[in-house]
């Protein structure tokens, strides 16, 4: 039989080298269990002479207590190591920068509509919207378009039925406004328009316009010119000048197109890509509201006059940001979209 000291020395070595809690449990059973080596020695004490028993018993009990102590220490060591490991694994670095949540941005068309609307809102206009599916009445008849006006053609317009169509312009909102609101009227109206154009760098079957309408007593052409000149300066820079060229629109009389001086070259560069060297850029259509249109709204044309204007949102955005192909707006290529607001 092994001596108590030998058992202790061996147990101590094995406990120290135990690699995990399971190994420790095995050693506990091996030495301290019911049939454990230490337990066995204690049991064997009966064979000793009575005078030896006391001393031997004390010695073995001390050894037993020491082995228990060593096992407890080792177990605690394992528990502590486990806790540190778990803490390390669960550690939160509060200084770590947050993860980037990809947020969308407004589309260039929306940004441009907001910018244009904002300029007119600062001049006291409110924003109103009309339907994209319109009646022939609102889109053409009420706007004084002659029965044979070319834009009525099936080849130019998406008809839904004989009397309904996808609006070709935002001008029908003028009619809706005049039918629902008494003067003074001061609105702008952005939205989608549709024409059967084949897409190319400057045409798209779906595009956007923003319409303006002001009706009040004593409104004159100078009010129109002053308003739109101010708009051009706020949109493209204080330095731009404007000029008005006679034109024809069925719903205005007189009608004009407004050009602004080239905000890129100021008319100085004969090879300027933006104004093609002419020094001028056409930016919108406008005119004094035709009495026939006011009459649709039941407005006293002796008392009230007004002006209207309409512009292409894509065109304004392309000019302002140097975009050379209208199709870029609708392709949703992030490389394009994020260039401006990435």
Footprint of ligand DAH on this chain (CB under 6 A)? Answer: 169, 171, 211, 249, 252, 285-287, 308-310
CB of 279 to ligand DAH, least distance (A): 23
Q: Which is nearer to ligand DAH, 169 or 227 (CB)?
A: 169
Picking from 134, 150, 141, 143, the residue whose alpha carbon sits closest to that of residue 251 is 143
CB of 180 to ligand DAH, least distance (A): 17
Torsion, Cα 107 108 114 117, to 10 degrees, reads -140
CB of 224 to ligand DAH, least distance (A): 9
CB of 234 to ligand DAH, least distance (A): 19
Q: Which is nearer to ligand DAH, 60 or 308 (CB)?
A: 308
d(C-alpha 293, C-alpha 301), whole Å: 10
Handedness of CA 57, 60, 62, 67 (dihedral sign): negative
Position closest to ligand DAH via CB: 310
CA 269 to chain centre: 38
Q: Which is nearer to ligand DAH, 134 or 211 (CB)?
A: 211
φ, ψ dihedrals at 178, nearest 5°: -65, -30
Q: Which is nearer to ligand DAH, 191 or 285 (CB)?
A: 285
Q: Which is nearer to ligand DAH, 36 or 306 (CB)?
A: 306
CB of 228 to ligand DAH, least distance (A): 10
Contacts of 278 by beta carbon, 8 Å cutoff, 6+ apart: 262, 267
Residue 77 · residue 18 · CB < 8 Å:
no
């Amino acid at each position: 039989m092994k001596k108590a000291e030998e058992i202790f020395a061996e147990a101590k070595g094995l406990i120290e080298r135990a690699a995990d809690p399971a190994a420790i449990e095995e050693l506990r059973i091996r030495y301290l269990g019911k049939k454990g080596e230490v337990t066995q020695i204690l049991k064997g004490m009966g064979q000793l002479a009575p005078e030896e028993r006391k001393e031997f018993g004390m010695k073995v009990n001390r050894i037993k207590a020491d082995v228990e102590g060593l096992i407890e220490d080792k177990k605690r060591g394992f528990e502590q190591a486990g806790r540190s490991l778990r803490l390390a694994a669960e550690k939160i670095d509060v200084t770590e920068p947050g993860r980037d949540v990809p947020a969308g941005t407004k589309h260039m068309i929306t940004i441009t509509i907001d910018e244009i609307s904002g300029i007119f809102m600062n001049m006291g206009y409110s924003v109103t919207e009309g339907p994209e599916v319109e009646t022939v009445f609102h889109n053409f008849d009420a706007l004084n378009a002659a029965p044979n006006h070319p834009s009525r053609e099936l080849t130019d317009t998406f008809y839904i039925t004989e009397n309904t169509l996808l609006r070709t312009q935002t001008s029908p909102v003028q009619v809706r406004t005049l039918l629902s609101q008494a003067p003074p009227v001061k609105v702008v109206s952005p939205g989608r328009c549709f024409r059967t154009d084949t897409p190319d760098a400057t045409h798209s079957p779906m595009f956007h316009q923003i319409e303006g309408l002001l009706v009040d007593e004593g409104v004159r052409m100078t009010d129109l010119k002053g308003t739109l000149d101010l708009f051009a300066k706020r949109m493209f820079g204080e330095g731009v000048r404007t000029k008005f060229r006679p034109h024809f629109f069925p719903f205005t009389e007189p009608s004009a197109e407004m050009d602004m001086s080239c905000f890129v070259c100021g008319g100085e560069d004969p090879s300027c890509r933006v104004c093609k060297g002419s020094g001028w850029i056409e930016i919108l259509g406008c005119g004094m509201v035709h009495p026939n249109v006011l009459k649709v709204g039941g407005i006293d044309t002796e008392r009230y006059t007004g002006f209207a204007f309409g512009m292409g949102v894509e065109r304004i955005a392309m000019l302002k940001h140097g975009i050379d192909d209208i199709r870029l707006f609708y392709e949703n290529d992030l490389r394009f979209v994020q260039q401006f607001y990435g």
